[in-house]
Structure 1
Amino acid sequence: MRKIIAAINMTLDGFCDHTSGIADKEIHQHYADLLRTADAALYGRITYQLMEYWRTVLEKPTDDPEMNDFAIAIDGTPKIVFSRTLKNLDWKSAKLATRDLNSEVLELKQQVGKNVFVCSPSLILALTKAKLIDEFQLCVHPIIAGSGLVLFEDIKEKINLHLTDTKRFGCGAVILYYKPKHLG
């Protein structure tokens, strides 16, 4: 059975924004390694379109080997995109979901294989409400953004989590690994 893992960057004040974090070599390498442990990454339309940037890095590599490595890793990771407006995708490793989020995730969860990462705030929120997340990997950056998209803004009931691990980065970011207590 696969694990469904919410993996996202956020600021100290709880906002999710890929442009507000610290994108240094160490963090790029961490996420490249993480993607290599995935059978799939789930994206909503907005985050997917942000991630399409990495295709340009594949076409024209940078002077940063870790950025280039991340571009290779994300390109090789199968992506399932949930969108009401996109009709087709031209990234070879991406496909549009054909069912609703919960049905798609329940089927993925039942299969044997590697982890499935949920990488969009809207999908993380919906799957948290449905109690389908097995682990949260929240990379908290030492930044106070002051505004933005709040990850757990619409959660109406208390969810108890158990801290299972942490990982510190030289830039001051920390990944907090949590497991929902209802999973034991």
Structure 2
Amino acid sequence: MGTLSYTTAMSVDGYVADASGDFQWSAPDEEVFQFHIDRMAAVSTEVLGRNTYRLMSYWESEPEDDPWGPLEREFARRWQNLTHIVASSTLTQEDLTSDRVRLVADLGLDDLERIVEEASGEVEIFGPTTASAAIRAGMVKDFRFFIVPKVVGGGLRALPDDADLDLSLADHRVFGNGTAYLHYQAR
């Protein structure tokens, strides 16, 4: 049986994308990227929404433009070895880049609970819209926030407005670029 986690990069004021939908300001530098690669060892399954899946499908093959060389190839290798579940009512199987990706048209909490029960490791739910129902329901056990030193003033919030969470700090780190990593566990 696995556990459910939510990992995201966000601005200091709590947004994963600004009001225009831009999130490039949250791109990791080499040190943060290496940290992501290392933490992926515990992850067995990624649950993604449509937009996040489209963004991350880049990693389904060997990176063509890899400025960090071996780091990007290692991330792609690890990403390709994960089970991917895409929650989307608009995508079809033909839209998916790999036959290793499972499409779920309507991801309910019971479905998510079953996915976590069947997982051999951590199930990471990726994307605030996809994660919101699980966060509200108290299903997420680990929250990993990468706080980027930027204030964007509005946009897509990292957490649902009506979330009521009691968390305990499990780990933290500050990277050279000023990004703060905060790992919280639900009490």
TM-score interval for Structure 1 and Structure 2 normalised by the shorter chain: 0.7 to 0.9
**Following TM superposition, by how much is the alpha carbon of 1:112 offset from its aligned partner in structure 2, in angstroms?**
5.8
Aligned to 1:51: 56
Aligned residue for 2:153, secondary structure, equals coil
Structure 1: give runs of 5+ residues left out of the alignment: none
Distance 1:61 1:75 in 2: 17
Distance 2:15 2:105 in 1: 30
Distance 2:180 2:31 in 1: 12
Q: Is the 8 A contact 1:125 1:154 kept in 2?
A: no
TM-score scaled by structure 2?
0.85
Of the candidates 118, 124, 136, which is equivalent to residue 129 of structure 1?
A: 136
RMSD of aligned alpha carbons: 2.0
Q: Does 1:73 align with 2:101?
A: no
**For 1:34-183, what aligned pairs fall within 5 Å after superposition?**
34-55=39-60, 58-65=62-69, 66-88=71-93, 89-97=96-104, 100-111=107-118, 113-155=120-162, 158-181=164-187
TM-score scaled by structure 1?
0.87
Letter in 1 for 2:67: D
- Deviation track 1:77-110 (CA, whole Å, cap 9, x = no partner) reads 2210000000111224322126633122211232
**Following TM superposition, by how much is the alpha carbon of 1:166 offset from its aligned partner in structure 2, in angstroms?**
0.7
- Deviation track 1:37-91 (CA, whole Å, cap 9, x = no partner) reads 21101100011111123346x1525231223322222222221000000011122
Aligned residue for 2:144, secondary structure, equals strand
Distance 1:176 1:90 in 2: 32
Aligned residue for 1:81, secondary structure, equals strand
